[in-house]
A and B are shown apart, each in its own frame.
Chain A
């Protein structure tokens, strides 16, 4: 039997005072795929949910994504974004129920290849209210052939609050 391969590369738990961004740098090229597991909450006044911008290698170009989501009691909807980062992975905001954090997973295959990079993101924000829930599926493409060596998450407004957690894992196919 082959060896299990899901390995923790790095983690970050936000301390008191919060942080304006989280960066995983010097990501080794020794895996096949990357997985981010996120539990996030932002502090921007009035936000039910807030969307961190996710960028690779410090680049602010080449990101596009398709979103499928459902919120509250509405019918499912779809949207697209092209811009300076992936925007459709959500953190809870300060107007959501206290002590609730998002639950998100991002899968990035073939992160060292010389092809463009795809990613899959699933995110939920639930806080026991008929007006504040969000479920989203996001498909992203970074049109860049460079190997991914760093990942940064930056709230568009405000900061990540204490107890937000960020875990980066590597998965090897052999």
Chain B
């Protein structure tokens, strides 16, 4: 049974040593986007998230992080990328929800849920991209030069009607 017009796959990467992932030509026919990144990489790294090729200081985020023994939170303004989560060399899963991505009147919000249990991290980010353009490209880059080695990344479209 299909549960309505939701979770339509737009594009998928099967990891094979990529140093970055780019989802381009994203159609504007959905309401929200969901990005699922799971598998293993070269080591523990933060994954940067950019939209439409923008590497300017137009991103900010607030984070809450757990290590299995302590919790912390932080806020960062005027960053050159948002955050798509962490990766490690065991099995991680990061889930990014990008709301109302195709509107041209408001700045864009992305919620990130990060799960890297083997390396001891669980957390969440709320990201803001200060741009009113519709998002047509999503770019993910490990910030220490690592690679995507064994797993998948899929961008899904979610339609509200």
Contact = CB atoms under 8 A, between A and B. Distances in A.
Interface string B99-123: 0000000000000011111101111
Contacts of B124: 68, 137
A2 B9 contact: yes
Interface string A129-145: 00000000111110000
Contacts of A3: 2, 8
Interface stretch (A53-61, A113-121, A152-160): A113-121
B57 interface: no
Could you tell me the dominant secondary structure of chain B's interface residues? strand
A141 B154 contact: no
B3 to A, nearest CB: 5
Contacts, number: 141
Could you tell me the dominant secondary structure of chain A's interface residues? strand
Given A109-B152, A119-B93, A120-B93, A8 B117 contact: no
Interface stretch (B66-74, B76-84, B126-134, B136-144): B66-74
A68 B117 contact: no
A109 B120 contact: no
Nearest to B72: A76
A172 B68 CA distance: 31
Nearest to A88: B122
B91 interface: yes
B155 to A, nearest CB: 9
A7 B3 contact: yes
Given A141-B117, A173-B9, A4 B4 contact: yes
